[in-house]
Structure 1
């Protein structure tokens, strides 16, 4: 869906064709933001229904928007920060630059340079903010409660079985092997349960997947630990899961626990990403050390054993998400950052660059 550039207030670039957590954030947020804001995406691999700025319209950004002193370029990747710097500082377009940072590590010199050129920085968690050397505003991601919820279609799989779910790309950094190890320990003791892993393994991780499948087959559990591959719609799967496990070794933010909790599903997660800020430990689920399969199994076991505990945690998870993590809250807090920039006179506005 093309846009009228004169009414465009915010550009949300997406310079990565392959689906990622960043792309998912843009896909969910932009339609909501577009209800009250002139916003458009720019880049490949995005759904057709999103408002889009065409590459041939970029020269029109030299003209200020109709109702604002400048446009905002909201980047979420280094390459998008760089593009914004070029457009603003080299081509002298009337732009201000915002970057959303999810990384939980010390940034490399190049990233630190780019961050220093931003007019505002958003961190997706308190943990992410701690790694920034520039001022930031913490805005945790939200979840689309119209899409994710306990009511609606459920994945038609494994009838009569209880299911522990795990969703995401299959690779070492996502802790898929930690989850499988925990399941190899627990499933023989819980014959009514099975495990489902949704998500794909890219070619470079096909050996990792094959090794996991070999371990599962050797344990005689090939019919109870299922790899679905990439699913067209993960929403019915979150409703199908009786317990959700998020085992990454490393994560930026990590949306899947929010999506599970919004579906009324308790969550056991590693202490990665923003999971400690999402999951109320001991209330909506549990948080365990990263990479510790024994600790993960010990945290999962009570939920597999006790339906009352699962129900209480799932109810608490749903209430927590509805109170603290609606997508509208995230959109409103981002809009507040935009408005703070717009409220400053372009002639006097000081930036951190």
Structure 2
């Protein structure tokens, strides 16, 4: 049973529904526990796993008997939590039913020590803690009251198939026009939630400097991500970005594309994908862009350098707009280089970040291998 009692919507919340179809393909019976009416609950149902629901996190603790009865009825002996706050319920279930095995994925990257009495009790019930990168594993080892043997790195995985090119030339050009990209322009995209910490402002400053660094290069910037709170973005921050675009004289040079469910197709419309996040715990967008065969410029911080090797992309300091301008100029002016990096990126994604391999490693842990 995957437990995710979150009313938000981001990579953490998407994870259970992302892997459940592959769990089922590999012969596992998957269940979920989610908040009633949440997008997590909707995504689980859409993935073929109608979840058990509760109205709130507090109510879940009060209904622990109901949850235990559900686990017994379905013969469930593996629990997997995805938010640290959900470990209260997971640890309580294990305390009441010691046969259960409890797993926890630290999707966010812990930022402070968790070694007080409560955390020693909760994490003491965890069979295995998964760090999603080496960068987060190093922080986990310092922060959590667990021996190193119980903290394993497990890179996330994605279904690679949707990211293979599907559009013919005419369809691709139509999509580019929809994004305000002219036929002769290099499309430079930044996909992801529009919230502070994702590096949008340094990227915009980099685009402004790109005009000076490569005055002969025709380009257009595309920001891909929800524009409202209901789509996971910070509306005040979106307004701040619009003002910054105007202040930098980039109006007409940058499109706010909004939330797009067809992200794999949008990658086909882009020539360069930028991920300037300052401290990514993993960097799922980087892997998605690699799977799409795109040349990527990523921030030289957090876990991104683990994913993006020199032969399949470029790294730039997350606080240095000039470094972003230089990287975008290099790739923007060399189509052959973009193709070569993109092909190498796709091969690396196939070798290391396929969801099938991720789930096999995960279920080996579930089974106690």
Compute the displacement of 1:49 (Å): 2.3
CA contact (8 A) 1:162 1:242 kept: yes
| CA RMSD of superposed structures (Å) | 2.3
Matching of residue 175 in structure 1 with residue 235 in structure 2:
no
Query: Which residue does the alignment assign to 2:82?
Result: 76
Compute the displacement of 1:219 (Å): 3.7
Distance in structure 1 (CA, Å) of the matches to 2:319 and 2:114: 25
Query: Which residue does the alignment assign to 2:58?
Result: none
Compute the displacement of 1:190 (Å): 4.8
Query: Which residue does the alignment assign to 1:140?
Result: 155
Distance in structure 2 (CA, Å) of the matches to 1:292 and 1:143: 30
Q: Which has the higher helix share?
A: 2
Moved segments of 4+, more than 6 Å: none
Structure 1 gaps, min length 5 = 1-10, 344-353
Distance in structure 2 (CA, Å) of the matches to 1:190 and 1:27: 45
CA contact (8 A) 2:79 2:90 kept: yes
CA contact (8 A) 2:160 2:291 kept: yes
Matching of residue 195 in structure 1 with residue 221 in structure 2:
yes
CA contact (8 A) 2:135 2:281 kept: no
Query: Which residue does the alignment assign to 1:21?
Result: 11
Query: Which residue does the alignment assign to 1:42?
Result: 33
Query: Which residue does the alignment assign to 1:255?
Result: 284
Compute the displacement of 1:173 (Å): 0.7
Distance in structure 2 (CA, Å) of the matches to 1:224 and 1:177: 15
Structure 2 gaps, min length 5 = 55-65
Matching of residue 223 in structure 1 with residue 252 in structure 2:
yes
CA contact (8 A) 2:223 2:257 kept: yes
Query: Which residue does the alignment assign to 2:131?
Result: 123
Distance in structure 1 (CA, Å) of the matches to 2:53 and 2:139: 34
TM-score by length of structure 1 reads: 0.85
Query: Which residue does the alignment assign to 1:213?
Result: 242
Matching of residue 53 in structure 1 with residue 58 in structure 2:
no
Specify whether residues 248 and 149 from structure 1 end up closer, same or farther in structure 2 by C-alpha distance, changes over 3 A only.
same
Query: Which residue does the alignment assign to 2:341?
Result: 313
Distance in structure 1 (CA, Å) of the matches to 2:301 and 2:10: 17
Distance in structure 2 (CA, Å) of the matches to 1:293 and 1:109: 39
Alignment deviations for residues 227-254 of structure 1 (CA, whole Å, 9 cap, x no partner) = 1122232121111110100001122212
TM-score by length of structure 2 reads: 0.81
CA contact (8 A) 1:284 1:314 kept: yes
Compute the displacement of 1:168 (Å): 1.1
